[in-house]
Amino acid sequence: MTSIVSQALWIYFYITLIGLIAIAVYGIVVRPNLLKKIIALSILGDTANTFIIFLGFRRGGAAVPIIPTIKPTLEELLWFKETAVDPLPQCLVITAIVINMSVTAFLIALAIQLYRLYGTLDVRKAVRLRG
Amino acid sequence: MVISKVRPRSEIIIGLGVALLLVLTLFAVIAGATGFTPKEDIRPLAKFYLYYAINWYEKKFWAASPEAVNSMVWDYRGYDTLYETSVFFLAIIGAIAVFRIPGVKDVFSKGILSGRGLSLIVKTITKLVIAFVLIVSIAIAVHGNLTPGGGFQAGSAISIATLLAIAAFSRIFLEERKITTKLMLPIRVLGVLGIGLLALGPALIALSGIMSFVIQNQPKPWADWGFIPGVGPFWLSGNQFFYNFFEFVAVGAGFTVIYLIFSIPELIYKRVLKK
């Protein structure tokens, strides 16, 4: 019974991810407003990060990948190896989050400048302007 | 100008194609392309990292940090982090370059902009919160090699203090305390320089004949040289403590610069652009 419930929860999680990606792609491709495109892009990035973290997850009593002592015994290390989640995706994602944030800042800077110079954030109008 | 409501067909096809690709990828993952996730077991590579991160009994591959994620960020996969730091550096340079319009100064005297400001309650609470943010982010940075967190996280946290100050007080409040882009840019460069020197330092030692490699931390079987893992009661995890600190400085100052630039009043730009 519990396995069916947990399976259903995982499928729910997957559907949420798909839904978020769909929203993000809709925002990036369809919305003409540059600001909304940037928001959608950051949603896409965060969804991808969630997915990567999720790939390293471990079913059944997973522990954080941190040993609480500096001098662990060999038994503690073996236990740690068998219970902790995969630290590799977390390592990749923490840098990705900061890069995402700085790239978003750069895109916002571009958008603000576009608005200042041309008075529009609509990409359909902006591509017709030459200056 | 009239904008047609009808979208070009190519746009729709590209959009649908991307959406289909992403959805199919996710379905492939559900169906088991990467093995059923989440599994009860993890990859052997991850086990290797977890087992050797602070293994006192087989020191040949250890990173001397009880936090597996941090040992990976600054030791096992250090090149990733180095290049991501440079991407971060360049992205902020890009933002600064876009905002550089001749004639726009980013330091104002009090006379140009004066307003009533927020209420005393907001200001007092913000002052308290800023103090907490500063303390907590420094704690996150210097404990990065022992507890969750590290340079990136602490830098992002401390930049929020700037944002709070701009929201509750103003840019001038920061300028009076000498927090300007002029000060923050060199600090940021110093942080990145520190990271670069720490990464290249071991390679310079290799010139003297001792085998070592770029971004080396602890001794390895093929490079018998390494940083001291701890001094007295302070556990530094080799150079990881310093990496975290420099990253904290670089990221914190970088985001502070971004927020300061974004908070230049639109009025000033309009005045310059009209000329």
Name the residue among A51, A86, A117 with its Cβ closest to that of B42: A86
From chain B, the residues in CB contact with A99 under 8 A are 84, 87-88, 91
User: Which of the residues A98, A113, A116 would you substitute to probe the B interface, choosing the one with the greatest number of B C-beta atoms within 10 Å?
Assistant: A98
From first to last of its 131 residues, chain A has per-residue pLDDT tens of 566 777 677 778 888 888 898 889 888 888 889 999 999 999 999 999 998 888 888 877 788 888 888 889 999 999 988 889 989 999 989 888 988 988 899 999 999 988 888 888 888 888 776 65
Contacts of A120 (CB under 8 A, 6+ apart): A114, A126, A129
In terms of Cα–Cα distance, which of B148, B230, B59, B151 is closest to A68?
B148
Q: How many beta-carbon contacts under 8 Å exist across A and B? A: 178
Greatest distance between any 2 Cα atoms in chain B: 74
Contact (CB<8Å) B156/A10: no
B17 Cβ under 8 Å from any chain A Cβ: no
| Residue at B153 is within a domain | yes
What residue of A is the nearest CA neighbor of B267?
Answer: A116
Eight-class DSSP state of B230? E
| Residue at B16 is within a domain | no
Contact (CB<8Å) B30/A124: no
Structural domain containing residue B235 = 42-274
Query: What predicted TM-score, i.e. pTM, was given to this entire model?
Result: 0.86
CA dist., res. B87 & res. A104, Å (int): 13
Topology of domain A2-126, CATH: Helix Hairpins (1.10.287)
| Residue at B174 is within a domain | yes
Burial class of B42 by CB neighbour count within 10 A (0 to 12, 13 to 18, 19+): buried
From chain B, the residues in CB contact with A26 under 8 A are 15, 19
Query: Per-domain residue ranges for chain A?
Result: 2-126
| Residue at B67 is within a domain | yes
Mean pLDDT of B168-194: 90
Task: For residue B75, count other CB atoms closer than 10 A to its CB.
Answer: 26
AA letter at B62: W
Contact (CB<8Å) B72/A22: no
pLDDT in tens, B216-241: 888 888 888 888 888 888 888 889 99
Contact (CB<8Å) A11/B42: no
Name the residue among A21, A65, A74 with its Cβ closest to that of B57: A74
pLDDT at B6: 65
- From the centroid of its chain, how far is CA B70? 14
CA dist., res. B88 & res. A94, Å (int): 13
Q: How close B51 comes to chain A (CA, Å)?
A: 6
A9 Cβ under 8 Å from any chain B Cβ: no
A71 Cβ under 8 Å from any chain B Cβ: yes
Total number of domains in chain B: 1
Contact (CB<8Å) B150/A94: yes
A130 Cβ under 8 Å from any chain B Cβ: no
Strand-pairing partners, residue B230, are B235
pLDDT in tens, B93-104: 998 888 887 777
Q: How close A43 comes to chain B (CA, Å)?
A: 14
What residue of B is the nearest CA neighbor of A98?
Answer: B152
pLDDT in tens, B17-71: 877 887 787 777 667 665 555 777 888 899 999 999 888 898 888 888 899 999 9
Q: Is the pLDDT of residue B191 over 70?
A: yes
| Residue at B28 is within a domain | no
Strand-pairing partners, residue B235, are B230
CA dist., res. B26 & res. B6, Å (int): 31
B156 neighbors B141 (Cβ within 8 angstroms): no
CA dist., res. B80 & res. B167, Å (int): 35
B63 Cβ under 8 Å from any chain A Cβ: no
Quick one: CA dihedral A52, A53, A58, A59, positive or negative? negative
Contact (CB<8Å) B55/A77: yes
Q: Which residues in B27-37 are b (16+ Cβ under 10 Å) and which e? A: eebbeeeeeeb
Q: Is the pLDDT of residue B141 over 90?
A: yes
